[in-house]
Structures are given as structure tokens and as C-alpha cells.
Structure 1
């Protein structure tokens, strides 16, 4: 059964991280541009990542009241970062962006999903 997350701050931390990432992605700094170009993600589609991250932020915050929504969102964010990790691997773009940003966010996503199962 899905329970309210305890500790509650893990999903909130993930939501804040995704929100900050979405805001930065509106006018991407160099490290974000290098990352997206490095994996070959088309520039015409960069806006979709902003929408996905904002939707995930909302889902994680709504999930504080409705745990099923939060857990489903956390699982979706895990799938997102697993896909990003695969894109990095496939493109052989395995610099610090992969290790710190991609895998770091994947680890935070997993950590944020676990409290729903406790």
C-alpha cells in the first residue's frame, strides 16, 4: 500500500530540484546546453523537458496530500532519469554531466520514491 511519504522532505527536495532545473532550462546555461547537445537531443524539443519537469514538480507536491500521485510521479521521474542515463551511455557522453547531474538526480529520485513504500 502507498503511504504518505515519511520523511516528507525527500519528495520536496526532488520537487525543488526539478523546479530549479526547469527554470534554468528556460535559458539553459552552458552545462545544460552541453549535456543536451552531447546526447544529441534536438534543440527543437528542449521545451518538452521544461514541461516534463514542471509537471513532475506539481505531481510530487500534490503527492504530499495524495500519496498515490506522489509515488506515481516519483516512479515517472526515475524512468525519466533512467532514460537520460541510457541516452548518455548510448552517445558515449559520460563526463561529469553524466556522473553528477544524471546519476545524482537518479539517486535522489529513487530516494524520494522509497518513503512512499515504508
Structure 2
């Protein structure tokens, strides 16, 4: 089956970011734990982060051969990061973590263009 996304490097990079993020959320490093504490993330959200991020990385890579899945995954990531940005705004946490969430949301939107 041919690879349909072009170029593929942004897709691969965003998938890698999602997998690495899933790994650091599995047993949160101090920076991740502080970020989650700062936005008052409930325990259920914390438990769901790793599977969500693994699913996102997998959806992005599978989207290389099933483009609508890649676009759908990017849309889900934009929604995910919109929620993250909202949580940071509500917590008045407008520093680096807020900027990271906003940048990854924008990146997810731009990566969706690789599938079109």
C-alpha cells in the first residue's frame, strides 16, 4: 500500500513526540507532574494520558496509509491541545507549558495538511 502523506517527516516527528510524551506520562517526571498539578488535572485524566498519546502516535502513523485516519487523528490532537490550553488559561498558568500546548495544537493542525 503506498504512503499517501507528503511530506512524511512532520507526521513522523509529531508521532514521535506523542510516543515520547506517552512514556513520560506513564510514570510522570517532575516537570509533567508539576504541569498536571498546576492545571488541577483530575486522576482520571492523568491515567488516560498515556493511552491517548499512544493512540495519537499510532493514528498518525497509520494515517500514512489511510489518510482520513491521519486527518482525524490531527483533528483529535487539535481538540486535545485546545482543552490543554483552556486548562492552562483557567489555572492562570500562562508560562512555558501553556506555550507548549498552544504550539503543539498549531503543529497538529499544520501536520494535517500533509494528508491532504
* TM-score, normalised by the number of residues in structure 1: 0.89
* TM-score, normalised by the number of residues in structure 2: 0.91
Counterpart for residue 95 of structure 2: 95
Counterpart for residue 116 of structure 1: 115
- Whether 2:14 is the aligned partner of 1:8: answer no
The CA RMSD measured in Å over matched residues stands at 1.5
> Which consecutive aligned stretches of 4+ in structure 1 deviate over 4 angstroms post-superposition?
none
Give 1:47 deviation, angstroms: 1.5
The structure whose RCO (Cα within 8 Å, separation 6+) is larger is 1
Measure the CA separation in 1 of the matches of 2:74 and 2:94: 24
Local SS of the residue matching 2:17: helix
Counterpart for residue 25 of structure 1: 25
Give 1:44 deviation, angstroms: 4.3
**Count of matched residue positions in the alignment of Structure 1 and Structure 2:** 114
Residues 54-69 of structure 1 mapped to structure 2, 5 A cutoff:
54-69=54-69
Measure the CA separation in 2 of the matches of 1:63 and 1:109: 13
Measure the CA separation in 2 of the matches of 1:61 and 1:30: 29
Q: Deviations over 1:12-42 (max 9, x none)?
A: 1111000000001111111111111111101
